[in-house]
Amino acid sequence: MSRLGDLIRLERTRQKLTYKQVARKCGVSEKYLEEVESGRRIIQDDQARRILRSMGMQQQTEADFTLDDIAATVDLQSAAVPAIAKAAEKKLTKKEKHEGTEEESGGTVAGSIWLDALSGVLKHVPVMNAAMKEVGHRLLPITNGKIEGANPDKVYYLMAPDNDLRGFRVMKGDLLLVVPAQAPVDGAIMVLDTPFGKIMRKTVAMPNFQVMLQKFDQSCESEIKNLNAVTVVGRCVRLEAEL
């Protein structure tokens, strides 16, 4: 099945439109739509977007996600569908309760309810370099309003600037997902704020309010500091590496 075809099929069936009705709206043949939805014909992002808009989808409901992002990230046939459907049901119930149905209000359904709901299912998580400049992004699922137990707006990926953690399987250019933290966690890789930018170190709890900071390139190097001399800003909870 084509994922972009799935997007079109879900929107068409949500609005209870026939192939003939959609074909008239967007100026394509019914056979073309059937082949796109079944995956027998490849469709480009711009063409899929045009068809979806012809059914009433508004661009702002995409929450800054491209259709390629959505299609590459969301499993529309399994786990993502119940979450989207549940969010869509809540939105529709609220709309019917306060505004009436489409026929009663005399208006039209503004955009795609299920696609709008993606903003509560996925998050555009920035990828930052050591100077905290955004250099890219990743899409991550939101579970119970959280990403890895943290506020979705507070998490980010940090690109490893060097091989200081090579011995801990973190290479230069690897991406580490960071959640907010204010104190070191024993045995975890933490993000520290320094006058020279952000650095990552493995931390080991020590007695007398001290912490050991470890890096491991060619060999393991350790440095013991007082806790009040260390500024912790985050904890690395996930690693993404290129093969």
State whether 43 and 127 are in the same domain.
no
List the strands of the sheet with 175-180, edge to edge: 134-141, 122-128, 156-159, 175-180, 232-240, 189-194, 197-206, 210-216, 220-226
Give the pLDDT confidence of 39-66 residue by residue, as tens digits: 888 888 788 888 888 887 654 344 445 5
Burial of 200 (0-12, 13-18, 19+ CB in 10 A): buried
Q: Which of 90, 120, 150 delimits the end of a domain?
A: 120
State whether 127 and 232 are in the same domain.
yes
State whether 193 and 162 are in the same domain.
yes
State whether 78 and 177 are in the same domain.
no
CATH no. for residue 162? 2.10.109.10
- Which pair of structure tokens corresponds to residue 34? 């059937």
Q: Measured between alpha carbons, how far is 134 from 136 in angstroms, rounded to an integer?
A: 6
Confidence grade of residue 199 (pLDDT, cut at 50, 70, 90):
very high
State whether 112 and 157 are in the same domain.
no
- The residues pairing with 4 across neighbouring beta strands, listed in sequence order, are none
Give the pLDDT confidence of 7-34 residue by residue, as tens digits: 788 788 878 889 999 999 888 999 999 9
Q: Domain total for the chain?
A: 2
Confidence grade of residue 118 (pLDDT, cut at 50, 70, 90):
low
CATH no. for residue 53? 1.10.260.40
Burial of 204 (0-12, 13-18, 19+ CB in 10 A): middle
Residue 91 has pLDDT above 90, yes or no: no
State whether 92 and 160 are in the same domain.
no
Q: Which of 57, 87, 120 delimits the end of a domain?
A: 120
Range of the domain at 46: 3-120
Candidate from 38-42, 114-118, 186-190 with smallest mean pLDDT: 114-118
State whether 235 and 129 are in the same domain.
yes
State whether 96 and 40 are in the same domain.
yes
Indicate the average pLDDT of the chain. Answer: 78
Candidate from 7-11, 63-67, 78-82, 183-187 with smallest mean pLDDT: 78-82
State whether 62 and 97 are in the same domain.
yes
Pairing, β 175-180 against β 232-240? antiparallel
**pTM of the predicted model as reported, rounded to 2 decimal places:** 0.58
State whether 132 and 155 are in the same domain.
yes
pLDDT of 112: 47
When mean pLDDT is compared over 23-32, 90-99, 212-221, the highest value belongs to 212-221
State whether 210 and 135 are in the same domain.
yes
Alpha carbon 116 to chain centroid, angstroms: 14
Q: Which of 120, 149, 182 delimits the end of a domain?
A: 120
State whether 192 and 89 are in the same domain.
no
Give the pLDDT confidence of 148-183 residue by residue, as tens digits: 999 999 999 999 999 999 999 999 999 999 999 999
